Amino acid sequence: MLEVRNIEFAYKGKQDVLDDISFDLNHGECLCILGPNGTGKSTLARCLLNLCKIKKGSIMVDGVNMNTVSPNKRAKYLAYVSQSSSMTFPYKVHEVVKMGRTSHLKFGASLSSEDLNTVNNVIEKLELTRLADNYFNELSGGEKKMVLVARALAQQAKYLIMDEPTANLDYSNQIKILDMIKKLSLENYGILMTSHFPEHAFWVCNRVLLMKNGIVGEYGTPDEVVTSKNLSELYNTPVCVTSTEVKNNKEHQVKKVCIPII
C-alpha cells in the first residue's frame, strides 16, 4: 500500500501549497485527483517522488519510508509519467524506454539481456514496435505519451504516478491512454493520476480525491465524491452530474457524465 499521511509542503518563503494531505492507494486501484489549476495537484505528485521535499508528514510504500531511501530504491517503488517531455538530444524510442532500467543498474554497468528483454516486452505490450527506431521528439503527442508510459513500465515499479496523462491529446488519444490505464490497474498496478476531466474518475478510477487550495475536500469512490454539489463547489461553476444510457451493439450501459451549466 502507498500511504500518505499528513504531508505539508511550501516553496521557500511562501505559504503552504499542501496542507495535511492524507490518503491510501492499494495495488490494483486507480486514484484520480481532481482540482482547479494552481491547487497543488502536480506539486503533490512531485512530493510523492521526493522531487519536492515535504516539510511534514510521511510517504510510505509497503512499510518503507520513501523520504529516507536512495533515489534508486525509490524508483523501484514509484514511477513517474510527466505531463509532457522533450529530449535535448535526439534519442530514439527504444533508447528512451531503456532509460527506465537505470535504477536497476550498477554504476557504469550496461544493460543485461534480462534488461533488454524487459524493454522489448514493454515496447511490444504498448504496441510501439513500429516506432522503436523513430526519434522521440518527432513523435505526435499521443505517441510521446505512450513512450513515457513505456519508460515507466520498464522501471518495474509497483506504483505509477501520472500527472495529467491526457493533457494536450486529441479525443482519440485520450481514450487510448485511459484504456491503457484501466488495463494496467487490472494488472495490479497502483495508479495515481491527476486530471482536469471529472468523467475520467467514472471511466477508469475506483477512488477520487478532491483538492482545492492545497487541502483535501472529499475522498472516496467516484459515486460518493463526484457529485453535482461537490464539483460545483470545487470549480466555482455550476456543474450537473447525470446519467445517460449508452447503447453499444446489443449491450446497454448506464454511464455518468459531468455537464457544465453555461
pLDDT of residue 204: 92
Using a cut of 0.85, tell me whether the model's pTM lies above it: yes
Residue 105 lies in a domain: yes
Residue-wise pLDDT tens digits, 26-59 = 999 999 999 999 888 989 998 998 888 898 999 9
228-184-47 Cα angle (round to 5): 70
Average pLDDT over residues 174-182: 91
Residue-wise pLDDT tens digits, 200-212 = 999 999 999 999 9
Average pLDDT over residues 213-241: 93
For residue 117, count CB atoms less than 10 angstroms from its CB and return exposed for 0-12, middle for 13-18, buried for 19 or more: exposed
DSSP string, 143-210: HHHHHHHHHHHHTT-SEEEESSTTTT--HHHHHHHHHHHHHHHHTT-EEEEEES-THHHHHH-SEEEE
Retrieve residue 256's grid coordinates: 455518468
201 and 226 Cβ atoms separated by less than 8 Å: yes
Q: What is the phi-psi region of residue 142: left when phi exceeds 0, alpha when psi lies from -120 to 50, beta otherwise?
A: alpha
Retrieve residue 86's grid coordinates: 522533450
Residue-wise pLDDT tens digits, 72-91 = 888 889 999 988 777 778 89
Residue 53 DSSP label: -
Give, rounded to a whole angstrom, the gap between the first and last alpha carbons of the chain: 41
pLDDT of residue 255: 85
Residue 230 lies in a domain: no
- Could you tell me what percent of the chain has a pLDDT over 90? 51
221 and 241 Cβ atoms separated by less than 8 Å: no
Residue 99 lies in a domain: yes
Give the CATH number of the domain where residue 175 resides.
3.40.50.300
Residue 250 lies in a domain: no
Provide the domain count of the chain: 1
Residue 60 lies in a domain: yes
Residue 150 lies in a domain: yes
Mean of per-residue pLDDT scores for the chain: 89
- Give the count of beta carbons closer than 10 Å to the beta carbon of residue 131: 21
153-154-160 Cα angle (round to 5): 30
Amino acid at 125: K
Q: Which of 74-78, 85-89, 121-125, 126-130 has the lowest mean pLDDT?
A: 85-89
Residue 148 lies in a domain: yes
In terms of Cα–Cα distance, which of 28, 29, 23 is closest to 4?
23
Domain ranges, residue 127: 2-225
Residue 242 lies in a domain: no
The answer on pLDDT for 252 being more than 90 is no
